[in-house]
Every structure is written in C-alpha cells, then in structure tokens.
C-alpha cells in the first residue's frame, strides 16, 4: 500500500494533483481546497490511501493523519464510496465532522453534494462509535442554533459552506450567543 508520497506538483485539477516522483506522475485525488493552495513546480508531501478495485488503483491524498482517518472511516459506511468521502472532507473540516457526529447533526452531512437524509443518518450511526471525541466538541443547543444562523448569513454573503465552516471555527467557545457579535468575529477570519 502507498501510505505517503512526496514530489513536485506537475498538474493541478479541481480535486486532483499529478505529482512527479522520480520521473513518474501519480494522479492523486485530494480535498478541493488543496489545489488552490499549491502551484505547479512546488514540492508537496501527502499522506495517501490507495483504493484497489477490480479495474483500477486510485490514490487519495491528504495533508494530515486526521483527514486520512476520517476518510477511512467514511468509506466503511454503507453507501459512501471514496469520492463521496472525499467530497465530505472537501466540504467540512475534520473538526466540523467530529462535532456533527458528537452532536448528531445530520444536516451537516446533508450539506455535502450527493448525501441525502438517509445516508447522513447512516454516517452518524456508523461514526459515533469509531471516532474518538472529547467534551470540547459538544455544542449546547443554543450554540448550535446560533452557529447555524451565522453559517447561513455567511453563505448568503457569498462565502462557500467550507469557508463559512472555517470561519465558525475561529469563534471562541465563550463568545456571546449574539448573532451580530458572532458574525463579526467570523468575518474577521476573511480579513
């Protein structure tokens, strides 16, 4: 199994890279945010997961072990293949996924293109025993509600769901439960 790869970026796609390692170009599917952070000719180091099928060998690459672990857990869920697992990691950060599992927020998974209500429920049921979680991932119902309002406001302003989730992560846990204050803090993430 290919567990990691290091080389020079030859080509950048929307959700993939071609990485040159010793004269061989490896096509690696990655979370959509990664190609935007790289340039051709730049060195890259990725942790990988190789998916072996009867008719193909497909490499999926990630920046850290947490993403690899979540990808591996997601593809174990009935109805979630590697491309849908990658789309989930492209849409939400590992922290958002963990919080969604702990707080049983199926709507977080339903935001992922290709995941409906039933698949979201399967993901929650499957992952709740597989993902180690701490108390720092618990939302009170009030926090979850106000954060959903902030996320909706950010997406209305034109930010993607992934950008909105990243901005939500910057809001301190002890921030007031006020929409304007939380939205102001989240907007600072983009400045």
Q: How far apart are alpha carbons 126 and 122 in whole angstroms?
A: 6
Clarify whether residues 74 and 50 are in a common domain: no
**Domain's final residue, options 62, 92, 112:** 62
Clarify whether residues 25 and 71 are in a common domain: no
**Domain's final residue, options 62, 96, 112:** 62
Clarify whether residues 107 and 158 are in a common domain: no
- What is the pLDDT at residue 137? 47
3-state SS, residue 2? coil
Most confident of 20-24, 160-164, 184-188: 20-24
Q: Minimal CA–CA distance to 183: which of 162, 161, 155, 160?
A: 155
Specify the number of domains making up the chain.
3
Clarify whether residues 129 and 146 are in a common domain: no
Residue 15, domain CATH = 2.40.50.140
Predicted TM-score of the model (pTM): 0.71
Tens of pLDDT, residue by residue over 72-102, are 999 999 999 999 999 999 988 888 888 888 8
**C-alpha dihedral, 126 to 128 to 131 to 133, nearest 10°:** 170
Question: For residues 179 and 56, which has the higher predicted lDDT (pLDDT)?
Answer: 56
Q: How confident is the model at residue 119 (pLDDT cuts 50, 70, 90)?
A: very high
- Per the structure, the complete domain to which residue 89 belongs is given by 65-136
Q: How far apart are alpha carbons 89 and 146 in whole angstroms?
A: 23
Clarify whether residues 11 and 55 are in a common domain: yes
**Domain's final residue, options 62, 90, 105:** 62
Tens of pLDDT, residue by residue over 4-63, are 999 999 999 999 999 999 999 999 999 998 998 899 999 999 999 999 999 999 999 999
Clarify whether residues 74 and 31 are in a common domain: no
Residue 112, domain CATH = 1.10.150.20
> Which residues have CB under 8 Å from 12's CB, separation 6+?
35, 38, 39, 40
Clarify whether residues 115 and 71 are in a common domain: yes
Clarify whether residues 89 and 118 are in a common domain: yes
Clarify whether residues 155 and 113 are in a common domain: no
């Amino acid at each position: 199994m290919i567990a990691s790869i290091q080389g020079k970026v030859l080509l950048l796609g929307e959700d993939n890279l071609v990485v040159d390692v010793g004269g061989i170009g490896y096509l690696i599917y990655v979370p959509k945010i990664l190609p935007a952070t790289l340039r051709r000719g730049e060195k890259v180091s990725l942790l990988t997961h190789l998916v072996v099928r009867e008719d193909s060998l497909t490499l999926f690459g990630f920046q850290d072990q947490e993403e690899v672990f979540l990808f591996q857990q997601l593809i174990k869920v009935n109805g979630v293949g590697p491309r849908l697992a990658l789309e989930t990691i492209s849409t939400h950060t590992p922290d958002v996924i963990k919080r969604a599992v702990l707080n049983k927020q199926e709507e977080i998974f339903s935001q992922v293109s290709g995941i409906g209500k039933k698949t979201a429920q399967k993901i929650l049921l499957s992952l709740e025993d597989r993902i180690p979680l701490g108390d720092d991932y618990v939302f009170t119902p009030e926090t979850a509600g106000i954060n959903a309002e902030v996320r909706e406001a950010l997406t209305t302003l034109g930010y993607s769901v992934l950008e909105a989730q990243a901005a939500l992560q910057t809001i301190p846990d002890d921030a007031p439960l006020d929409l304007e204050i939380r939205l102001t803090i989240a907007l600072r993430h983009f400045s």
